[in-house]
């Protein structure tokens, strides 16, 4: 029995268009599913609205990105644990197997101190969900560098049951993406597909337009026994028109499908 890796479209990839536009484009272009980035758009927070969009367009939600960004610190609740619980409830309701979560910010001291144990507790409450902790990157400003995450930007240094590998973040952190995947091992549950040049900022380029081993990574997933999902997470905010945005998202999907050719075994 073989496993065909689903290729998802992250709703963040259509910004500044809103959540509903991602479902429309995913259906038109032939994506296998959606990753919902929970943010200030009310639709991204509403299970009923998301289920309606999924049914209307025939595109399921297969991943939920918890509201971990600076701009989403007040979505649902100022309490990061409550935000994570609500993201898990949303994923469970939509039958999405994966919740993407960032490491805590350094100023979230209580959250950071109990993050590993608390994550295990929530995972136990939502059996069957993967809570993929995502690799991040240090921030460089005015020639200086600081790490805004505690205890750091690399989740493999702590060790978690599940991970999300973001290739654009690997570029921003000057990290070998293949080595990062090796460290994640069997915990690799989800991949954010986007490229970067390694200039020290998070670029989320269309795969193939930067210097990351995007093709090599995708081709390696079968040999890793990968049974998760790949989400296209690229920046199209600079697109001059809907047609240009659509072309970038079509190119990203075609890239992913071209390199996800080798089947992976499904765990029995």
Per residue in 14-49, pLDDT (tens digit) is 999 999 999 999 999 999 999 999 999 999 999 999
Given a contact cutoff of 8 angstroms between Cβ atoms, the answer to whether 96 and 62 are in contact is: yes
- The torsion angle over the Cα atoms of residues 219, 223, 229 and 230, rounded to 10 degrees, is -20
Supply the pLDDT for residue 261. 77
71 within 8 A of 44, measured Cβ to Cβ? no
> Could you tell me what percentage of the chain is helix, strand and coil, using 3-state DSSP and rounding each to the nearest 5?
40, 20, 40
Other CB atoms within 10 A of residue 116 CB: 16
146, two tokens: 């600081």
Q: How many CA atoms lie within 13 A of 176 on its CB side?
A: 4
Mean pLDDT of the chain: 93
Stretches where the chain sits below pLDDT 70 are: 1-2, 200, 262-268
What's residue 267's pLDDT? 36
CA–CA dist 233, 201 (Å, integer): 15
Report pTM. Answer: 0.94
Instruction: Give the per-residue pLDDT at 268.
Output: 30
């Amino acid at each position: 029995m073989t496993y065909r890796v689903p290729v998802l479209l992250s709703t963040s990839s259509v910004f500044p268009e809103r959540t509903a536009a991602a479902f429309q484009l995913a259906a038109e272009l032939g994506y296998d599913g959606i990753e919902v980035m929970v943010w200030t758009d009310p639709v991204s927070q509403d299970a009923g609205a998301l289920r309606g969009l999924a049914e209307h367009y025939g595109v399921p939600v297969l991943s939920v990105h918890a509201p971990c960004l600076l701009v989403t610190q007040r979505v649902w609740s100022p309490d990061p644990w409550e935000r994570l619980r609500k993201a898990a409830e949303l994923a469970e309701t939509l039958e999405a197997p994966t919740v993407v979560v960032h490491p805590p910010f350094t100023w979230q001291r209580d959250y950071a101190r109990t993050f590993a144990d608390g994550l295990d507790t929530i995972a136990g409450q939502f059996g069957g969900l993967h809570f993929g902790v995502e690799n991040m990157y240090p921030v460089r400003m005015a020639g200086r560098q600081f790490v805004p995450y505690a205890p750091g930007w690399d989740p493999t240094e702590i060790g978690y049951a599940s991970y999300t590998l973001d290739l654009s973040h690997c570029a921003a952190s000057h990290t070998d993406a293949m080595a990062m995947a090796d460290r994640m091992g069997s915990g690799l549950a989800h991949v954010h597909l986007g490229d970067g040049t390694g200039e020290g900022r998070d670029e989320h380029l269309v795969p193939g337009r930067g210097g990351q081993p995007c093709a090599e990574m995708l081709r390696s997933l079968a040999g890793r026994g990968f049974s998760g999902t790949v989400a296209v997470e690229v920046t199209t905010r600079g697109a001059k028109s809907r047609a240009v945005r659509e072309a970038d998202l079509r190119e990203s999907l075609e890239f992913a499908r071209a390199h996800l050719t080798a089947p992976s075994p499904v765990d029995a």
